[in-house]
Amino acid sequence: MDQDNTKIIPTSCIHNCGGRCLLKAHVKEGILIQLTTDDSPDTDQFPQARACLKGRAQRQRLYDPDRLKYPMKRVGERGEGRFNRISWDEAFDTITGQMQRIKQMYGNEAIHLLYGTGVYGQISQSWITPDMGGALPRFLHMFGGYLGYYNTYSSACFSYSAPYTYGVAEGNSPDDLVNAKLIVLFAENMAETRMGGAGAAYYLKLAKDKGAKIVVVDPRYSDTASALADEWIPIRPTTDNALIDAMAYVMLTETLHDQTFLDTYCLGFDEEHMPPGIPAGHSYRSYLFGLSDDKIVKTPEWAERITGIPRDSIVRLARQIGRTKPACLLQGLGWQRHAYGEQPVRALPVLAAMTGSLGKKGGGPGLRLGGHKVPMGWVPAGTNPVKASISCYMWPEAILRGKEMTAADGVQGAAGLATDIKMIWSYASNILINQHSDCNGTARILQDESKCEFILVHDVVMTPSAKFADILLPDVTHFEREDITTYSSGIGYAIYHQKVVEPMYECKDIYTITSELANRLGFGNQFTEGKTEQDWLRECVKAAQDKDPRFPAFEDFRRQGIYKAAPPEPVIAYEQQIADPVHHPFQTPSGKIEIFSPRLWEKNNAREVPAVPKYISAWEGPDSPLTAKYPLQCIGYHCKQRVHSTFDNIPWMEEAGKQEVWISPGDAEERGIMNGEQVKVFNDRGAMIIAAKVTPRIMPGVAAIPQGAWWSPDSQGIDRRGNINTITKYHPTPLAKGNPQHTNLVQIEKA
């Protein structure tokens, strides 16, 4: 407390940005008057958990006059956004009534907990996986369960296909970047996607200071490329496999590869190392040299035609990688949010293996960065009595035709679904309309009340998804409750966020809501065990202390707000497997790095799910017949001004990054478009009006829109804010059933 009665209370920022940053709330007379951030010494080992622009703007969210203030029920058509105020009593009665009715009529499997990533915390977590806990899954499990999901919108193709190569996906931790001589980033824009002070972008900067060469392969001259790269290689979206194939071809023909490494650790690189029973011509090498079905030799000239990258650049990059051993080849998630997003994920590891870069400092397996972990307990959720789950992306299909869905549609845990989805619980999620593909198509599904009969939304503001609620509940922000958060990509920090102001308006947090619902449903005591939020948090810390004896006492942790677990050394992925392959095989069936995957071979779908990673021409890719009508490839990207859709309603953020479509000068000139002019971006699925950013920072033939803008259709159905999901397609990827939201063809014209 300083002399003018201002208290400084540690808190955090809690959204899904891959970071986790410390905030310090300056509170005077119950009002949060200022936010500052981590000012402890900034060292390589313990970088400050400094907040980015968004964390520092959190007061704008807390005191946003448009916050939801009381429970409401829908009075207009679904999606229209007309609501009446109701009491909490009525809200609770309606929810328990609907839950019981739906359970009785259709069974618990008809209740779907929607993917949503707005809140991270050991009590209030919104993104739920079976190994996590939290109040919401605990409550739903006790009610008899719900239809859950696997996959994420983030990394469906990555997480699903990397294990086919490696068994378990690992990566070197970000603090190892400083040991690298050459870092090649594919579809990885960490300057925007890992922005916190303790994030990967910080280590990339340290690596550059130490002399690492940095190359960025991206259709856009991203912030990472502009701030840190020595070279930018623009590429047509969906074509990275062709680039990688041609580089592998160059390395082989110039003998730049490490044959001993391949012979020792890999399955299926060449015909000499194939699993038994596979006919000749199916190794990766045969594919490169035109000895497999397509008969095409994967030369740099071939790749130039597909990728748009000049032949000489391909050869130069291949030599640079081949001559720098180890090389740090890193993938972001941008290239796997595509039509055949499974393929590049498994292709880059081939180059990593060819250069023998695995298991070494300054190298890596060609996957994503890994990280240091910090132990922490959860509010225990128990297990879900409903065993079936769907890919998180396929819920609209499960509303329309759930009963028909089987393993072929990606249903896991059961042969098929017993019912269509009849109720959606959407907590801290804008997936319902904004973040899922094809807003117009999704709206049509949701508008039909005979399909999904009840939609519950719990958020802090009237988002586009909130407008589709039948019952809309106002949440507190994390400043108005207590929790602990640990999730961060890279560095192992745990952060305690204290309640810094009292709950505003009639807002209620998820623990209070689920406790009250449990009471009314008759299992209140079992649910709460008589514990307050803080009691649960003490148990979470106790679990952490059991695993890490240095974890501070609860009161100290709460007062300090942050615990920085000491990372002794960088994590080096597959270090043991490389050092001692006999005792530490890879966790694949063969124990090898499966460049050729027998498990994929058995899928018997060589065109869309090949056993070795291949270039597959995308359904809305650069050589699709649809380019005649819609000639531009339109990708989205994750931008610094928002975390997805969170912060889109905060005007300050528009000053940091505008909502505009990137278009190259040539494409703009052809269409008579000037920088800053309003343009129409459209295809058969929808249209939006948005400002044009005419810039050489994007590859000709490609357009890019920052994802996450709030879908705002006018009376004609034309989106006026520029939500890229107006034009994205619902089309699950063949293997992972993931979201190909960066694969879209559009036309752009003057508005």
Ligand X SMILES: Nc1nc2c(c(=O)[nH]1)N[C@H]1C(S)=C(S)[C@@H](COP(=O)(O)OP(=O)(O)OC[C@H]3O[C@@H](n4cnc5c(=O)[nH]c(N)nc54)[C@H](O)[C@@H]3O)O[C@H]1N2
Alpha-carbon gap, residue 591 to 34, rounded angstroms: 55
Helix (H) or strand (E) holding 636: strand 632-637
Among 9, 27, 35, 51, binds ligand SF4 (CB under 6 A): 51
Tell me which of 48, 96, 307, 725 binds ligand X, using CB under 6 A.
Answer: 725
Q: What tokens does 216 get?
A: 């960025």
Binding-site partner at residue 186 among Mo ion, ligand SF4, ligand X, none, CB < 5 to 8 Å by type:
ligand X
Among 52, 190, 476, 632, binds ligand SF4 (CB under 6 A): 52
User: Of residues 154, 355, 514, 624, which one binds Mo ion by CB under 5 A?
Assistant: 154
**Looking at 18-26, 127-135, 621-629, 729-737, which segment touches ligand SF4 (CB under 6 A)?**
18-26
Region from 157-165, 189-197, 386-394, 397-405 binding ligand X, contact rule CB under 6 A = 189-197
Taking residues 695 to 724 in sequence order and writing x for each that binds ligand X by CB under 6 A, - otherwise, the string is ------------xx---------------x
Stretch that binds ligand SF4, among 46-54, 239-247, 374-382, 695-703 (CB under 6 A): 46-54
Residue 284's nearest CA partner among 611, 599, 735 is 611
Binding partner at 741 among Mo ion, ligand X, ligand SF4, none, C-beta below 5 to 8 Å by kind:
ligand X
Among 176, 313, 174, smallest CA distance to 233 is for 313
- Out of 38, 175, 176, 192, name the contact with ligand X by CB under 6 A: 192
Closest CB to ligand SF4 among 488 and 590? 488
Answer yes or no whether residue 17 interacts with ligand SF4 by CB under 6 A: yes
- d(C-alpha 397, C-alpha 388), whole Å: 15
Binding positions for ligand SF4, 597-656, rule CB under 6 A: 643
The DSSP result for 655-700, as a single string, is HHS--EEEE-HHHHHHTTPPTT-EEEEEETTEEEEEEEEE-TTB-T
Q: Are 697 and 227 in contact (CB under 8 A)?
A: no
Quick note: the x/- pattern for Mo ion over 549-588, rule CB under 5 A, is ----------------------------------------
Single-letter amino acid code for the residue at 478: H
> How far apart, in whole angstroms, are the C-alpha atoms of residue 524 and residue 444?
38
Tokens of 173: 């931790």
The secondary structure of 473-496, three-state, reads: EECCCHHHCCEEECCCCCCCEEEE
**Is the alpha carbon torsion for 337, 340, 346, 352 positive or negative?**
negative
In order of 268, 390, 399, 454, 686, the CA distances from 394 in angstroms are 33, 7, 9, 18, 20
Q: Which is nearer to ligand SF4, 195 or 727 (CB)?
A: 195
Rg over alpha carbons for the chain, rounded to the nearest Å, is 26
473: tokens are: 């509940």
Q: Residue 475 binds what, of Mo ion, ligand X, ligand SF4, none (CB under 5 to 8 Å, by partner type)?
A: ligand X
Q: Judged by CB, which is closer to ligand SF4: 482, or 719?
A: 482
* Count of residues that interact with ligand X, criterion CB under 6 A: 63
Give the orientation angle of helix 342-354 with respect to helix 240-253, to 10 degrees: 20
| 598: partner contacted, choices ligand SF4, Mo ion, ligand X, none (Cβ within 5-8 A by kind) | none
Kind of pairing between the strands at 213-217 and 231-233: parallel
> Which member of 19, 121, 492, 708 binds ligand SF4 (CB under 6 A)?
19
Work out how close the CB of 413 gets to ligand X at its nearest, in angstroms, rounded to a whole number: 23
Q: In sequence order, which residues have a C-beta less than 8 Å from that of residue 684 and are 6 or more positions away?
A: none
d(CA 602, CA 682): 40
What is the smallest separation between the CB atom of 53 and ligand SF4, expressed in angstroms?
7
Burial class of residue 144 in the structure, from the number of CB atoms within 10 Å of its CB (0-12 exposed, 13-18 middle, 19+ buried): middle
Residue span 297-326 as binding mask against ligand SF4, x where in contact by CB under 6 A, dash where not:
------------------------------
Residue 638: both structure tokens together: 């994750």
Q: Considering CB distances under 5 to 8 angstroms, the limit depending on partner class, which of ligand SF4, ligand X, Mo ion, none binds residue 20?
A: ligand SF4
- Chain residues that interact with Mo ion, rule: CB under 5 A: 154
- Chain residues that interact with ligand X, rule: CB under 6 A: 16-18, 116-119, 153-154, 186-189, 192-193, 195, 217-220, 222, 235, 237-238, 240, 332-335, 337-338, 427-431, 435, 458-461, 463, 475, 477-478, 635-640, 642-646, 707-708, 724-725, 728, 741-742
- Chain residues that interact with ligand SF4, rule: CB under 6 A: 13, 15, 17, 19-21, 51-52, 54-55, 195-196, 643
